[in-house]
Amino acid sequence: MRGLVFLLSVAFILFAVPCQAATYPIAEPDLLKEMEARAKDPRVLEKLREALAEKARSYRPMELVDLPETSRNESYLVDMTYTLPFDVPKVDKDGRVVGVLYPKGYTFNPLDYVEADPPVLLIFNGENEKEIRWVEKWLSSSHPPAYLLITRGDWIKLSRRLKRRVFYLTPLIRERLHLRATISVVRRDPVRRRFMRVDVYRPAR
């Protein structure tokens, strides 16, 4: 049970984004009915679909993470040990904070708590044709499934070309995995399983 609480706490630390806002009663029910009626209008729905599609096509993260193209093949290990930057509260069954479950400064390695290997990550420059062709060849071979992360490029065009979803590399992933260059393939080290292994490849010219 303690392990489960710990994992939930970790998930909260890494992924939870608190969102609080005041709520107010609807003072104009007629206006609400009018908005609902307009929302059912096929012309309004079509415009909404077009706007959402265009927003998706033009999406770029506010913080694009750039990595240089590597000049050589190399491999290195990344220690995933993490230090809590603040106290994780201990909460009773009624939701009241009754103390500290894990104090600020507590260190742990998330790989110690999972038997299954994390998904493979493949990071590349989506505007570099050599790297894209390398990724196509890698995907067509007998490698395990991987999440594709790009530093540059059009995610929709690349998703269609590679026939799988493509995502943008985030600053947090770059920092946690100490990524240095493209192309990088990240997976759990099969021997030293408390570490992630980063294999960096230089595409053939």
Domain ranges of the chain: 63-80+115-200
Yes or no: say if 26 and 36 are a contact pair by the CB < 8 Å rule.
no
What does pLDDT average to over the chain?
A: 80
Residue 8 pLDDT greater than 50, yes or no: no
Mean local confidence (pLDDT), 19-42: 57
Residue 48 pLDDT greater than 60, yes or no: yes
Mean local confidence (pLDDT), 45-60: 62
| Cβ burial, residue 149 (10 Å; 0-12/13-18/19+) | buried
Q: Is 191 helix (H, G, I), strand (E, B) or coil?
A: coil
Supply the angle between the helices 42-57 and 29-39 in degrees, to the nearest 10.
70
- Residue 32: phi, psi to the nearest 5? -60, -40
Q: Which residues contact 126 (CB under 8 A, 6 or more apart)?
A: 132, 150, 151, 152, 153, 154, 155, 158, 166
